Chain A
Amino acid sequence: MSTNAYYIPHKATWPIIGTVGLMITLAGFANVLNGSSIGPAMMIMGLVVFIIMLAGWFTLQAVESESGMYSTQVGISYRMGMMWFIFSEVMFFAVFFGTLWYTRNLSVPWLGGFGDGPGRSTHETLWPAFEAMWPTNGPGEIGGEFEPMGTWGLPFLNTLILLTSGVTCTWAHHGLLAKNRDQLIKGLIATVTLGFLFVGLQAMEYHEAYTEMGLTLGSGIYGSTFFMLTGFHGLHVCVGAIILSVVLFRSWKGHFKPENHFAFEAAAWYWHFVDVVWLGLFVFVYMM
């Protein structure tokens, strides 16, 4: 931290590149969904631009940070930015947890004839034989027969893996603070490895669900909430593990000082956030 000034960059080219990339990606995806033949090419092109932007922008930030252009005050802006970003992610997951709560506790019981809610007349006129229960694929038995996901096999192992990765991440942080580069790098390697291991096991679980249990995204409300919640979480684990890999690479390059390592902190906060979301998933999706 060689300067006291608030660093204000004057020309930014990455934002517009990223915007164009993201827009082409999404327009491409929309075309894919509509069955249009230009969709896949567009989507891949957009993604490539977007990834180039990510690499370029983050490299720029890392170079600027290492050359001491960011004052303590700039660092505070970054930390606030990351904190509020994580808050927005919390709200995003809250929607799907809320959906799970609402369907389990309100709409499915109403469809089964409980309470004086709106679903009761639906029960009486459309599906008088439907009995409320969980898991369910609804009175129309959408998606056909399925077997619900168990708790104490892979999911429990994954819980242990993520919790351990939280510990190794903190251990790495202690190494960084104590100027013990070896501990920092070893801790990060362990964290990233555990992260990708988690994703791998999750993929195995999905494979088993689709091929052996008849459990798919289309298995009524149980399949919908199960795959939406665990899927978005898995995606976040992937992103978190990639961020941590970059942090690992930078640590190996000799970046970060005990008093200045925002990227490490942000990655660690993000990692702990996906960890906490998983605990919520384990309790509300797998256990209850």
Chain B
Amino acid sequence: MSAVVAEHDDHHDHGPEKGLLRWIITTNHKDIGTLYLVFSLAMFFLGGAMALVIRAELFEPGLQFVEPQFFNSMTTMHALIMVFGAVMPAFVGLANWMIPLMIGAPDMALPRMNNMSFWLLVAGALLLASTLFMEGGAPASGWTLYPPLVLQTGAALPFAIFSVHLLGISSIMGAINIIATIFNMRAPGMTLMKMPLFVWTWLITAFLLIAVMPVFAGAVTMLLTDRFFDTSFFNAAGGGDPVLYQHIFWFFGHPEVYVMILPTFGVASTIIPVFARKPLFGYSSMVYATASIAFLSFIVWAHHMFTVGMPIAGELYFMYATMLIAIPTGVKVFNWTATMWKGSMTFETPMLFSIAFVVLFTLGGFTGLMMSVAPSDFQYHDTYFIVAHFHYTLVPASVFILMAAAYFWLPKWTGNMYDEKLGQLHFWLSAISVNVLFFPQHFLGLAGMPRRIPDYAVQFADWNMVSSIGAFVFGFSQLLFLYIVIKTIRGGTGEKVTDEVWEDASKHSLEWTLPSPLPYHTFTTPPKEIPTEHF
């Protein structure tokens, strides 16, 4: 591959466009990364507000604040917004910012398409949010949109479905761009097995996205035709089967949840070695474990459907296949722990969030293992136990790691240091309240409290109250995060950071060899040396 040079003869002036237009027509990976991150933070607060509506209603038994229909809209929209609006775009934002920097490329491979994938995301989110104001309310079927229930949605249904199409196109474009960038734009000497693990996890995630987003698009298209064009895909009277929708949805859905967790693993594997001051333990096994998890994600989908009435052979197969996932995941947890073993660790905010991630994600993983056991899953299915499980793998895992990433890279992006004391306060508030919020839900679920119901039997009252208190503390603690981020962007502590920011970080990854704050264009000529710390 020939040398990579960004400039073209026509474009010697490389400053960003002035004013608001800059953000609309930009093709710069850093601008687009920022757009994604800001958008996802806004969606995080919107989805969070919906979660607080849910927790307020569940604070005590009985119906206090909202109608049951609206409550169900809230659970549905909270999930859709958090998955497609907050967590996924946040990781795409990090990918945009960091992948070109980490592999020594001048930009993403397909910059114009990069712009379009961001704006399609906004368009999809707008269509989705608009359903809140429609006749019949927003979709209230749960984010899985199971028929026949979802077909009873009012005017919102086609809007929600087209929103899924737009979000899908956006994700596929983003994923294609990431794959082309990683395969085609690496600096000379940056072999695949020298790439930082964040790049590896995104490469695999992008593959998952391209493979499953069209599947989801197909599924919702069939919902659309069943409702409006008389087809019988999910109608038994016509020879179809509503369970078929569940199979297709979860063929998408299971890889989809790994889309949210694999980049999380990548960021954790990037942060932990820096603060342990050691190379990542077991680099290549991390790569293979990630690939194994991705492969397994395609062949375990029906563990979401144990109670639907599958043939017994199917139950057994999906049970054992699901249990296999614990092996590569265990490899990862072992490697993170081994990376910290005998390291000279310091505990700045990004490291605190990362350690909390390792512990709490493992907890969420274990409850997953419990539910993989088909016979006992009949007890847990559709209870608060599953709610606790996936929130442990998403909030103190994906969201915590996103927080960690913000604290870790914001000094690099802006050239300003965040307030360490406030950061630690944010961490402890979040880490304690998130457990107050979600841990009691395990007890509620085991005792039989169903999910997606606005009211409950009185014996569940105490733990629901505890959980709601945790929710409000956690929710409002995130305003502190917003404050810290804004303060850092506008000058931070006033202390200017070094190029490396963190001690010896440049041994780990290329972005720390560049100036802080990062110039608008970087690696217009490829880097000479490739860090090899992870060996």
Contact = CB atoms under 8 A, between A and B. Distances in A.
Interface of A: 3-16, 18-20, 22-23, 26-27, 29-30, 33-34, 57, 69, 71-73, 76-78, 80-81, 84-85, 87-89, 91-92, 94-96, 98-99, 102-103, 106-108, 110-111, 115-119, 122, 126, 136-140, 142-143, 216-218, 220-225, 227-228
Given A34-B155, A126-B236, 4 more contacts: A71-B2, A92-B217, A99-B233, A139-B236
B151 interface: no
A217 B229 contact: yes
A285 to B, nearest CB: 15
A116 B311 contact: yes
B235 A138 contact: yes
B211 interface: yes
Contacts of B14: 10
Given A12-B27, A80-B180, A84-B210, A29 B158 contact: yes
B458 interface: no
Interface string B163-191: 00110000010011101110111000000
A6 B6 contact: yes
Interface stretch (B115-123, B332-340, B353-361, B470-478): B115-123
A21 to B, nearest CB: 10
Nearest to B131: A30
Interface stretch (B243-251, B342-350, B364-372): B243-251
A99 B3 CA distance: 48
B110 interface: yes
B214 A91 contact: yes
Interface string B198-240: 0000000000001111110111001011001111110111111
A142 B235 contact: yes
Given A118-B243, A228-B231, A81 B214 contact: no
A137 to B, nearest CB: 6
B8 interface: yes
Contact of B162 (A13, A29, A89): A29
A3 B9 CA distance: 10
B231 A224 contact: yes
A118 B244 CA distance: 12
A82 B322 CA distance: 33
16 contacts: A5-B8, A7-B8, A10-B28, A23-B166, A76-B180, A80-B183, A88-B213, A88-B214, A91-B214, A95-B219, A96-B218, A118-B308, A138-B237, A140-B236, A142-B230, A228-B222
Nearest to B13: A10
Contact of B113 (A23, A81, A126, A140): A81
Nearest to B105: A6
B310 interface: yes
Contacts of A110: 241
Contacts of B24: 16
B123 A23 contact: yes
Contacts of B256: none
B179 A80 contact: yes
A5 B115 contact: no
B283 interface: no
B159 interface: yes
A103 B8 contact: no
B49 interface: no
A4 B238 contact: no
B309 interface: yes
Nearest to B162: A26
A30 B119 contact: no
A8 B112 CA distance: 9
Nearest to B161: A30
B29 to A, nearest CB: 9
A136 to B, nearest CB: 5
Nearest to A53: B116
